Structure 1
Amino acid sequence: MKRAIFGLFNRLRFNQKLFLSYLIVIIIPILVLGVYAYNQSKQMLNYQAFQGIDKNVSTISESINNSIERYNHTIRSIVYNKTFQKIVANDYLDLVNLSGDLNNYLSPYFIMMMNLDKEIEKITFYTQSNVPEYGDSVVSYKRVENEPWYSEAVQGSENQWFYDKGLIVTAKFPKFFAERYTSIVYMRINDKSFFKSVTDISQDYGIVIADAQNRIIYANQSAMKTSTLDSREMMKLSEGLVRIGLTEMFLVKKMVPQTNWTLYCFVPAGQVSPNAGTIINATLIVILLCIVSLLVIISIFSKTMIRRIFRLNAMMKRVEMGELNLRVQSSSRDEIGELTNRFGNMLIRLNELIEESFRSKIVQKEAEMKALQWQINPHFLYNTLSFINWKALGSDAHDISYVVTSMSKFYRTALNRGNNIISVRDELENIKSYVEIIQVMGENNFDVVYEIDAAVYEYSTINLILQPLAENAIKHGINQKMSGRGLLQVSARLGKGTVEFAIEDNGPGMPQETIDTILTIQSVGYGLNNVNERLQLRFGAEYGIGIRSRIGHGTVMTVVIPQYMNVS
């Protein structure tokens, strides 16, 4: 491991080593201070968040306590009502008086209370006395003696709150009239209405309320979606930042004073404060800005020490990318200055060699072209062809006149008055004349189709680039067909900044090995490799001839040149 680290360090460049050494010395204290500041900010924010949650939970607990106090007051007003005490103790000499109190006092009183408070769903007296049952208002204790809340209500001394398929509160009647009997009042309250204030206040909090036996009395939607703990596990957790499942949460506990309930509130740590992320992000941004500033200073300082090496390296990269016309020179007399001047002299010599080779190649190609053009004396040739045409017309030999006229057009465009640049229109006329001559000579044994976009006519090209392709397509494609009529297709169109020509035949095609070598071999005449070299010398290596072929389907040869206009 140690050897690998030293090997990696030795492979670094000098400016990288210098930069890395400064970076290690400076960035470590910055990171330590940044982490410390981050942790302090986070602790402060957590404390503030916990205080805010605790305050809200206190408000919720106070709201619940007020509601409980209200119902405790209501149920106390019932158990201390002399008439109700008399009814449950059955302290009547006859049933007429009992019936009068039940019908004229108890029922109207219950109806009034439930009308005044819509949250009260039911009020029932459960008595151990022998008072007759009266609807749902007065019921024998035997109907509920097996209910889990009943024994606790009988044994308790004050108002008791339970959750048994709904929220209920009970209270015992005092034994003023019948010491051997125990009677209780049972009041059922709509839990959704009772906890509505809790739901409104704690929309973003998870709220769970449990009694002394850890039985859940209430849980809001957030708690049911988030919490994976039961009340017993919650009781074991301490207040503060806890982990519930995979989420960090703030847990706050509050007792409800009027009951033995415990209120648990838990909130995801990421949602407790809208400013927490801003403050922490600000701390991280400051740290990042310090690090970036130091990196800039370190970079400037390290580059200043090796500026000349860096500059020489940059110039070498530019030369490597093909920029050979740079002037490299240094007035310094140290080793770096000598290295710079020697590189500059080498670059000058390299440019001279490239220029000499390039000019030699152009002269050679131009000489080959001129030699090809001047193989025939143009003046003599045109006079001769004109005489033949005149004689043919005089003898009504129109086919001979057609061939002579096509040949005259062909050589006029091919020779182009000795100019190497020709319009695209004339280059296309050249290939048309050539194809017409070949068709007459071959007795029209193949068809030809031209698809020319008129927009290409405004551009120029070097001459004699299409005729060799057409000759190759006829000679090696159409003439080699074993059956069927030959077809030659010539097209020209504009591309994205280019002019694109295509010569296609329906011959037998050629294998890939032939395609790979056809542009490199030197043929006897003016072959495709000559055309490709001329195109690339004039327009660049990205232009030239392309070949696609399928055995049995034919060959497509393309020529791509830039959209060039001859301004001379």
Structure 2
Amino acid sequence: MKRAITGLLNRLRFKQKLFLSYLVVIIIPILVLGVYAYNQSKEMLRIQGIQGIVKNVDTISGSIDGSVERYNHAVQSIVLNKTFQKIVTNDYSDLVNLSYDLQEYLTPYFNMMVMLDQEIDDVKFYTQTYVPEYGDSVQSADRVKDEDWYQSALKGKGSQWFSDNGLIVVAAFPRFFSDKATNLVYMRINEASMFKNVAALAKDGTVAITNDRGDVIYSNQGATGERLEAGQLQGMKEGAIRIGGIESYLVKKTVKQTGWTIYFIVPAKELSRNAGSIINATLIVIAGCIVIVLIMIWMFSKTMIRRIYALNSVMKRVEIGDLSIRIRSESKDEIGELTNRFGSMLARLNDLIDELFRNKIVQKEAEFKALQWQMNPHFLYNTLSFINWKALRSDDADISRVVTTLSKFYRTGLNRGNNMIPVRDELEHVKSYIEIIQTMKDHSFDVEYDIDEAVFGHTTINFILQPLAENAIMHGIARKESGRGLLRISAKLSNGKVVFQVQDNGIGMPLETANTLLQNDSSGYGMKNVNERLRLKYSSDYSFTVESAVDRGTQMSIVIPAYLQS
């Protein structure tokens, strides 16, 4: 165990060790204070939370009482209205007067009630008398005689509330000694509107309201994620309960005017949501202490190891290849000496790299110029002209054509010693080479050219296409055992680049060989040399790819920047 701890500490950085030492010293008293404050405040928060629940339930009960009382008054104002009493008892000598009261008094009155109170969905009379039915406003009691609420309403007194696919309040019209029929006023209340305040007050918990028969007349989904059913509420007692696997607290209250029971259930974790001042104060103190500790650690670490981190950061940049950094310190201590020595070493390293790179370029240029000037151009051209003259005198057109093409080949290739030539000349150079090879091989293969004339106005380094064509002919087409060989040369502009492609239908090569073709040395002025010259000229702003498969041919592509011809 001791060895494991020692090993862990040895792997930590100095700043981490410093941070841990200060943190251990301060974290113990902070934790003791935090635990003590939490335990002391936990009980107070629970009491405050319960008081908040009780207050919400009282508010819900008061809101429901107010709404119930308002609708009770509305229903009583109807049953005590003389005109309405006259309508339901059919106390008319003729139908003309009845029709007048229905149209001019009942209908406007009901419409006014619904318009003024949007919680009222419907108002109607159910009468046992022989008064004619009038739309939805006056209907025969026979329509609802089998409903449970109707039978209960006949036996009850005053305004009675029922749940019948929603909330309804029903009241019977007064019966005099001579009356045998019972007439009712029926008012349907919009449940969502009536209990909208309940939903707002119970947003952090689950609330259910049951009538005096135990039926649930309202229930929200609440924090438990499900609506409460009547069976769940039976036998529930106030206090701590467990419902739906959640520790909760239940408060019950009865609505006076209706006998309804309100069940308000809040998860235990919500009890402290609105009463967390003590915990917040404790957390602020703890956070303040931690901030002070972090500031102290930051100050010490910044003072002691800031320059070490700066030197380490520079070393990381050098490690990933950034050698352009210049670093020097004015400090005379050990860290300053280490910084200055590293800066001197880096400067010396840059000098050596620059010298080596320049020597490499000079070496490549020298090798190329030696290749270009290994033959005297004037002597070569004069000799080829003499051979051409002799061929013409001998009437040998083939020799004349080969000599002329060879002369053109060397003229475009040597280019007076210049490395950069027009793309047109580079293409003419490779065409001359291919024409010579075709003549030498008795035109045993075909060649196609796909040249976009837009590339003629740009420049390229010379001697990059001829090695590709030579490789395609000698190592691809010449080894083809069956079928006629085809060499395809293309050049085009694409996205600000000049794209050359040399494609053959020869024997191809394995993927492993194609992947190493540009890195391995080959005889003569080969592919690796072309790749190195491209890299020296264009750095990373070029691409040279080889795609090949056995018996499917090879495609070599060179993409270089489109430099306009000056």
Common fold by TM > 0.5: yes
SS in 1 for 2:412: helix
Residue of structure 2 aligned with 1:121, choices 121, 124, 141: 124
CA distance in 2 between counterparts of 1:267 and 1:374 reads: 97
CA distance in 2 between counterparts of 1:42 and 1:301 reads: 43
Aligned equivalent of 1:312: 311
Instruction: Give how far 1:313 is off.
Output: 1.4
Please show how residues 305-454 of structure 1 align to structure 2 within 5 Å. Answer: 305-394=304-393, 396-454=395-453
For residues 425-483 of structure 1, give each alpha carbon's deviation from its aligned partner in whole angstroms, at most 9, with x where no partner exists: 32222111111211222222222222233343344333212111111101111111222
Instruction: Give how far 1:375 is off.
Output: 2.1
SS in 2 for 1:428: helix
Residue of structure 2 aligned with 1:67, choices 54, 67, 71: 71
Instruction: Give how far 1:348 is off.
Output: 3.7
Instruction: Give how far 1:380 is off.
Output: 0.5
Structure 2 unaligned regions, length at least 5: 112-121, 269-273, 276-282
CA distance in 2 between counterparts of 1:352 and 1:256 reads: 94
User: In structure 1, what residue type is equivalent to 2:503?
Assistant: E
Aligned equivalent of 1:549: 548
Question: 2:502 touches 2:556 (CA, 8 Å); kept in 1?
Answer: yes
CA RMSD of aligned residues (A): 5.7
- Relative to 1, partners in 2 of residues 1:218 and 1:309: Cα closer, same or farther, differing over 3 Å? closer
SS in 1 for 2:478: helix
For residues 375-402 of structure 1, give each alpha carbon's deviation from its aligned partner in whole angstroms, at most 9, with x where no partner exists: 2111101122233334444555443333
Please show how residues 291-310 of structure 1 align to structure 2 within 5 Å. Answer: 302-310=301-309
- Relative to 1, partners in 2 of residues 1:238 and 1:436: Cα closer, same or farther, differing over 3 Å? farther
Percentage identity across paired residues of the two chains: 49
Residue of structure 1 aligned with 2:194, choices 177, 184, 198: 198
- The alignment status of 1:187 with 2:190, answered yes or no, reads no
CA distance in 2 between counterparts of 1:248 and 1:219 reads: 19
Aligned equivalent of 1:210: 210
Instruction: Give how far 1:215 is off.
Output: 1.7
CA distance in 2 between counterparts of 1:151 and 1:298 reads: 78
User: In structure 1, what residue type is equivalent to 2:184?
Assistant: M
User: In structure 1, what residue type is equivalent to 2:124?
Assistant: E
Question: 1:61 touches 1:254 (CA, 8 Å); kept in 2?
Answer: no
Instruction: Give how far 1:243 is off.
Output: 9.6
Please show how residues 257-272 of structure 1 align to structure 2 within 5 Å. Answer: 257-262=256-261
CA distance in 1 between counterparts of 2:52 and 2:128 reads: 49
Instruction: Give how far 1:408 is off.
Output: 1.7
Question: 2:541 touches 2:561 (CA, 8 Å); kept in 1?
Answer: no
Aligned equivalent of 1:511: 510
Question: 1:228 touches 1:244 (CA, 8 Å); kept in 2?
Answer: no
- Relative to 1, partners in 2 of residues 1:290 and 1:361: Cα closer, same or farther, differing over 3 Å? farther
CA distance in 1 between counterparts of 2:512 and 2:98 reads: 111
CA distance in 2 between counterparts of 1:471 and 1:315 reads: 48
For residues 398-434 of structure 1, give each alpha carbon's deviation from its aligned partner in whole angstroms, at most 9, with x where no partner exists: 4333322221221122222122333333222211111
Instruction: Give how far 1:536 is off.
Output: 2.4
Question: 2:161 touches 2:258 (CA, 8 Å); kept in 1?
Answer: yes
Question: 1:170 touches 1:185 (CA, 8 Å); kept in 2?
Answer: no
Question: 2:426 touches 2:463 (CA, 8 Å); kept in 1?
Answer: yes
Question: 1:459 touches 1:564 (CA, 8 Å); kept in 2?
Answer: yes
CA distance in 1 between counterparts of 2:386 and 2:536 reads: 40
Please show how residues 141-290 of structure 1 align to structure 2 within 5 Å. Answer: 150=151, 154=155, 160-163=160-163, 167=168, 169=170, 185=182, 187=184, 189-192=186-189, 198=194, 209-217=209-217, 227-231=226-230, 233=232, 255-262=254-261
- Relative to 1, partners in 2 of residues 1:476 and 1:168: Cα closer, same or farther, differing over 3 Å? same
- The alignment status of 1:531 with 2:534, answered yes or no, reads no
Instruction: Give how far 1:249 is off.
Output: 11
Instruction: Name which of structure 1's ranges 349-358 and 467-476 shifts more when overlaid on structure 2.
Output: 349-358
For residues 140-197 of structure 1, give each alpha carbon's deviation from its aligned partner in whole angstroms, at most 9, with x where no partner exists: 99x979968757964x6765444467736366989x979xxx988452514246x585
- Relative to 1, partners in 2 of residues 1:433 and 1:205: Cα closer, same or farther, differing over 3 Å? farther
Question: 1:501 touches 1:559 (CA, 8 Å); kept in 2?
Answer: yes
CA distance in 2 between counterparts of 1:372 and 1:5 reads: 68
Structure 1 unaligned regions, length at least 5: 88-99, 127-132, 270-274, 277-283
Q: What is the TM-score of this pair, normalised by structure 1? A: 0.70
Aligned length: 523
For residues 335-370 of structure 1, give each alpha carbon's deviation from its aligned partner in whole angstroms, at most 9, with x where no partner exists: 323322332343344334434433443343233222
Instruction: Give how far 1:317 is off.
Output: 1.9
CA distance in 1 between counterparts of 2:431 and 2:290 reads: 71
- Relative to 1, partners in 2 of residues 1:332 and 1:101: Cα closer, same or farther, differing over 3 Å? closer
SS in 2 for 1:464: coil
User: In structure 1, what residue type is equivalent to 2:65?
Assistant: S
For residues 65-120 of structure 1, give each alpha carbon's deviation from its aligned partner in whole angstroms, at most 9, with x where no partner exists: 11113324555779xx99x9xx9xxxxxxxxxxxx979889x969x8696554744
Question: 1:500 touches 1:560 (CA, 8 Å); kept in 2?
Answer: yes
SS in 2 for 1:477: helix
- Relative to 1, partners in 2 of residues 1:250 and 1:385: Cα closer, same or farther, differing over 3 Å? farther
- Relative to 1, partners in 2 of residues 1:442 and 1:45: Cα closer, same or farther, differing over 3 Å? farther
User: In structure 1, what residue type is equivalent to 2:12?
Assistant: L
- Relative to 1, partners in 2 of residues 1:409 and 1:339: Cα closer, same or farther, differing over 3 Å? same
SS in 2 for 1:323: coil
Aligned equivalent of 1:12: 12
CA distance in 2 between counterparts of 1:170 and 1:380 reads: 130
Question: 1:153 touches 1:160 (CA, 8 Å); kept in 2?
Answer: no
